């Protein structure tokens, strides 16, 4: 098992991944779609990932994407949050 990465770095990386996949984590938290524990778990999932450089390259190559890349520890959760978003004008 590899050591966990630095928390603040992975918070930022998770935020970039969320933004790229059109998910607003602050809005999801405010709407009760994720709890403090959920958010911390997502950060820890990111911290446990061994593909940080691959992730950074992917983020650098994508301004927007429909989903997180294969292998992202938070891909499913981000997809769920994206699906819960209110339609524009809704």
Q: Is the pLDDT score of 84 beyond 70?
A: yes
Residue 62 resides in a domain: yes
Does the residue 89 lie in any domain?
A: no
Quote the CA–CA distance of 48 and 35 in Å, as a whole number.
Answer: 20
For residue 52, the model assigns a pLDDT of 92
Q: Is the dihedral of CA 40, 45, 49, 53 positive or negative?
A: negative
| Residue 8 scores a pLDDT above 80 | yes
Is the Cβ–Cβ distance between 2 and 48 less than 8 Å?
Answer: yes
pLDDT value at position 88?
A: 54
Query: Would residue 1 count as lying in a domain?
Result: no
Res 67: pLDDT:
95
Range(s) of the domain holding residue 72: 7-83
- List pLDDT tens digits, range 74-83: 999 999 999 9
Could you tell me if residue 23 is inside a domain?
yes
């Amino acid at each position: 098992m590899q050591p966990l990465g630095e928390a603040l770095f992975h918070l930022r990386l998770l935020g970039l991944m969320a933004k790229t996949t059109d998910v607003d984590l602050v809005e999801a938290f405010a709407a009760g779609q994720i709890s403090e524990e959920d958010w911390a778990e997502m950060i820890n999932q990111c911290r446990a990932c061994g593909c940080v450089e691959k992730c950074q390259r992917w983020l650098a190559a994508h301004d927007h994407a429909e989903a997180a890349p294969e292998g992202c520890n938070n891909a499913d959760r981000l997809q769920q949050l994206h699906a819960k978003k209110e339609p524009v004008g809704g």
